[in-house]
């Protein structure tokens, strides 16, 4: 399996071989966390930055009456929160969706990354900027698209992000999401999610089975959902090839 952490940062900025070796070293020691476990809770004051090395996680908030809104999915290579050192307490919760391997980066490691490794610092800034751009796109998705188009747009985005870290195969990739989780993401009832997935399946756009999604024609799904990947600001794969040639 490719090192998704290195691939993600390399999708934003060409990395030198010594930077890639350093990233591999600092992310080598991981811990396994089971599915449906909170990694960081709202109100916590964590000292270290967590990176999802393998598996899927989510960001969410709960309302006072127990309803959940999911507003981001974290895939292999994603930081859980880059700004924990600046926050007095977390304003949302991060939880696993599937079993995850998680690396923990100390404040000293983040200091090394930001102050002594300029290429990685630039990639880190891009991670933060893309998180904001993605959240804005999600707001447009929720407010302006129909239910099937919302879900199709999410699937298109996840395909693009998974592809950038080397985890797709001909439009197929792991996707351990339940209809209840899609409901809490899209602001739809579970019944409405079920109907929308059926519509996408009958249109030959996607199929889901055994926690995997199969997209038979990726471009067709992007066209259907009006998906424009520019907000992800990925320079993959050209810069990754250039980076590999320089090492």
Beta bridge partners of 39: none
| Interacting residues of 146 by C-beta distance below 8 A, sequence separation 6+ | none
Which domains occur in the chain, in start order? Answer: 4-246 (2.60.120.10)
The C-alpha atoms of residue 161 and residue 165 are separated, in whole angstroms, by 7
φ/ψ bin of 166: left (φ > 0), alpha (ψ from -120 to 50), beta (otherwise)? left
Whose tokens are 């099937």? That residue is 148
Q: What is the pTM of this model?
A: 0.91
| Tokens at 150, concatenated | 């919302």
Q: Does the pLDDT value for residue 62 go beyond 90?
A: yes
Share of the chain above pLDDT 70, in %: 93
In tens, the pLDDT along 165-224 reads: 999 999 999 999 999 999 999 999 999 999 999 999 999 999 998 999 999 999 999 999
Cis bond before residue 237 (omega within 30° of 0)? yes
pLDDT value, residue 40:
92
> Confidence band (pLDDT; 50, 70, 90) for 46?
confident
């Amino acid at each position: 399996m490719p090192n998704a952490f290195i691939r993600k940062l390399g999708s934003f900025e060409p990395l030198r071989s010594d930077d890639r070796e350093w990233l591999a070293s600092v992310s080598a020691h991981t811990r396994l966390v089971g599915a449906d476990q909170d990694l960081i809770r709202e109100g916590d004051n964590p000292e270290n930055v967590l990176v999802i090395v393998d598996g899927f996680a989510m960001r969410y908030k709960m309302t006072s009456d127990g309803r959940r809104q999911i507003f981001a999915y974290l895939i292999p290579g994603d930081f859980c929160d880059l700004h924990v050192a600046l926050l007095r307490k977390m304003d949302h919760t991060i939880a696993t969706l599937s079993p995850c391997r998680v690396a923990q980066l100390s404040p000293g490691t983040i200091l090394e990354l930001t102050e002594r490794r300029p290429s990685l610092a630039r990639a880190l800034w891009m991670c933060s900027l893309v998180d904001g751009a993605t959240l804005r796109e999600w707001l447009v998705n929720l407010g302006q698209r129909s239910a099937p188009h919302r879900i199709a747009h999410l699937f298109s985005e996840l395909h693009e992000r998974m592809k950038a870290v080397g985890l797709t195969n001909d439009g197929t990739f792991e996707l351990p999401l339940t209809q209840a989780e899609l409901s809490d993401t899209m602001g739809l009832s579970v019944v409405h999610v079920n109907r929308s997935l059926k519509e996408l399946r009958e249109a030959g756009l996607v199929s889901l089975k055994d926690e995997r999604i199969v997209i038979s024609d990726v471009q067709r799904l992007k066209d259907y959902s009006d998906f424009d990947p520019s907000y992800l600001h990925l320079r993959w794969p050209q810069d990754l090839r250039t980076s590999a040639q320089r090492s």
